[in-house]
Amino acid sequence: MRLSARGYHRVLRVARTLADLDNSDKIGRLHLAEALSYRALAEDVRQLA
Give the C-alpha separation, 40 to 48, whole Å. 13
For residue 14, the model assigns a pLDDT of 97
For residue 8, the model assigns a pLDDT of 95
- Whether residue 8 contacts residue 16, with contact meaning beta carbons closer than 8 Å, is answered with no
Q: What is the pLDDT of residues 1-43, one digit of tens each?
A: 789 999 999 999 999 999 999 999 999 999 999 999 999 888 8
Domain that holds residue 23: 5-48
* pLDDT of 46 above 80: yes
Query: What own/partner pairs with CB < 8 Å and gap ≥ 24 does 28-36 have?
Result: 35/11, 36/1, 36/11
Structure letter (DSSP) for residue 23: T
- Whether residue 22 contacts residue 15, with contact meaning beta carbons closer than 8 Å, is answered with no
Number of domains in the chain: 1
